[in-house]
Amino acid sequence: MMVRVIVLLIFSQLLTSCFVSKDGPEGTLKGFIARQFSGNVSKGEILGDTTGALYNEYNNMSDELFDKIYKSNKYKKGKINIHFKKCNENKCSITYSINYNMRIKKGAGTEVEIKKMATLLKNEKDIWKISNIMNIKTYYEPSEIIVK
């Protein structure tokens, strides 16, 4: 009987460790961003990372608009920098920037840097979900001057 209880406890611990991010809120946010730039993300994956108003925003987005934004190959992710993180047990605010290249036409593109602030909440299953993302500042640097 005692062996069954121990085996059950070990199995349940292993099972829950597969679903709880070991990197905490920062890992959840970085995974979310990586999936967005993959060019092959599903709406379900994005909804799985979000909660609250952000969840509703993605859920209400038409499939056509979602595909236009997230299934494009004109974005190439650069790097993610975490600037500030303030967390307590159930809520975390992270200020970060994303650098990426956006292709405008063949041979011409723009380097983009966006500074953002994300709010993440821990749900009842101890999984961090993104509840809000706010743009703070955007900087564009064209790689080619286009004269019309």
**What pLDDT digit, counting tens, does each position of 78-91 carry?**
788 999 999 999 99
Q: Is the pLDDT of residue 129 over 90?
A: yes
- Domain range for 135 is 22-142
CA 77 from centroid of its chain's CA atoms: 12
Inside any domain, residue 17: no
**Secondary structure class of 95 (helix, strand, coil):** strand
Q: Which residue has the tokens 């047990």?
A: 89
Q: What is the CA radius of gyration of the chain?
A: 19
User: How many domains are there within the chain?
Assistant: 1
**What pLDDT digit, counting tens, does each position of 4-24 carry?**
544 444 544 444 433 444 579
The three-point CA angle 112-93-77 to 5° equals 25
pTM exceeds 0.85 for this model: no
Question: For 40-44, what is the mean pLDDT?
Answer: 87
What is the CATH classification number for the domain harbouring 126?
3.10.450.50
Q: Which residue has the higher pLDDT, 75 or 136?
A: 136
Are 109 and 87 spatial neighbours (Cβ–Cβ below 8 Å)? no
Inside any domain, residue 11: no
DSSP 22: T
Give the model's confidence band at 122: pLDDT under 50 very low, under 70 low, under 90 confident, else very high: very high
**Secondary structure class of 140 (helix, strand, coil):** strand
Inside any domain, residue 13: no
In order of 34, 68, 106, 119, the CA distances from 51 in angstroms are 18, 22, 38, 10
Inside any domain, residue 14: no
Q: Which residue has the higher pLDDT, 147 or 79?
A: 79
Res 1: pLDDT = 60
